[in-house]
Amino acid sequence: GGKSLLDGLSHLAKDLVHNGGMPSQVNMGAFEVGKSLGTTEGAVIFRNDVLELIQYRPITEQVHERPLLVVPPQINKFYVFDLSPEKSLARFCLRNNLQTFIVSWRNPTKAQREWGLSTYIEALKEAVDVVTAITGSKDINMLGACSGGITCTALLGHYAAIGEKKVNALTLLVSVLDTTLDTQVALFVDEQTLESAKRHSYQAGVLEGRDMAKVFAWMRPNDLIWNYWVN
């Protein structure tokens, strides 16, 4: 008797020391890129200051002429689309004869504090040009998730403004394009909060991933916070 209480206190102590007081959701030591994450075969074929471009090796005898470029959120990693052999968008695309490329964003530091949306758009333009050059296709399909989708949308607006058609179709995943709509995030936001967040981020140089994780956790507290306290 009492073991669950001792285990809980042990977890609490570890979370206070190593996780900013937030409950740990997974065992972070159980994952390693290339072994338990991101295991689909591919190679980095292009790199600039902002991103790396991964081309995945086809697994079918024939592929569609028009390639797919997947753009993850800047606050996430490329392997969110390649978690395991059974949970991999990359493998799904390859099985369906798609020439598949995925962007891997650089981890910014305070040295990149001046980077803005235009920085990411220019870097993504280079990646699009590389994909078309390698595949010989005049245009591509794109899939953008969250802030990656926002970046893709801004890029398409830029292409439209300069009269270029390099993207045949764009698929968006959880990408908020109309920020005037009421959302759960808006419950935490007012002008004073935004100004404070901007000031803190600029002083630190970046918005740390653990701070962003807290925001997302408090958007679903029953699932991502209290669940680990009471269950």
Q: What is the CATH number of the domain that holds 144?
A: 3.40.50.1820
Q: Tell me whether residue 206 is in a domain.
A: no
Whether the Cβ atoms of residue 51 and residue 104 lie closer than 8 Å to each other: yes
pLDDT of amino acid 183: 63
With residue 127 as reference, give the H or E element that holds it. helix 117-135
Number of domains present in the structure of the chain = 1
Q: Tell me whether residue 190 is in a domain.
A: no
Mean pLDDT of 177-197: 71
The overall average pLDDT reported for the chain is 88
Return d(Cα 195, Cα 70) in angstroms, integer.
32
pLDDT grade for 181, boundaries at 50, 70 and 90: low
For residue 129, is pLDDT > 80?
A: yes
Return d(Cα 41, Cα 59) in angstroms, integer.
10
Return the exposure string of 40-58: e unless at least 16 CB atoms fall within 10 Å of the residue's CB, then b. Answer: bebeeebeeebbbbbbbee
Catalytic residue from among 54, 90, 145, 146: 146
Query: What 3-state class would DSSP assign to 169?
Result: strand
Q: Tell me whether residue 207 is in a domain.
A: no
Q: Tell me whether residue 222 is in a domain.
A: no
Q: Tell me whether residue 185 is in a domain.
A: no
pLDDT of amino acid 205: 76
Q: Tell me whether residue 144 is in a domain.
A: yes
pLDDT of amino acid 189: 65
What percent of the chain stands above pLDDT 90? 54
Range(s) of the domain holding residue 64 = 31-177
Higher pLDDT, 197 or 111: 111
Q: Tell me whether residue 136 is in a domain.
A: yes
Tell me if residue 152 is catalytic. no
Mean pLDDT of 154-177: 95
Whether the Cβ atoms of residue 66 and residue 140 lie closer than 8 Å to each other: yes
pLDDT of amino acid 188: 60
Residue in the block written with tokens 């073991």: 3
Task: Name, in order, each residue with C-beta under 8 angstroms of 177's C-beta and a sequence gap of 6 or more.
Answer: 149, 150, 153
Q: Tell me whether residue 93 is in a domain.
A: yes
pLDDT tens per residue, range 14-64:
877 777 777 877 777 777 888 888 999 999 999 999 999 999 999 999 999
Return d(Cα 162, Cα 150) in angstroms, integer.
19
